[in-house]
Amino acid sequence: MEEQKQHAKRKAVFLDRDGVLNVERGDYTWRPAEFEVCAGVPQALEILKQNGYLLIVVTNQAGITKGLYTKQDVLACHEKLQAACGYVLDALYMAPGHPSVSESLARKPDSLMLERALARFNVDPALCWLVGDQPRDIQAAAKCGIAGILVGPHATGTHVHQKPDLLEAAQWIVAQAPTP
Catalytic residues: 16, 18
Of the candidates 137, 117, 118, the one whose C-alpha atom is nearest the C-alpha of residue 126 is 118
For the chain, where are the E strands, in sequence order?
A: 12-15, 54-60, 91-95, 129-132, 147-151, 162-163
**Interatomic CA distance for residues 68 and 93, integer angstroms:** 19
CA geometry: angle 136, 77, 85, nearest 5 deg: 90
**Interatomic CA distance for residues 79 and 66, integer angstroms:** 22
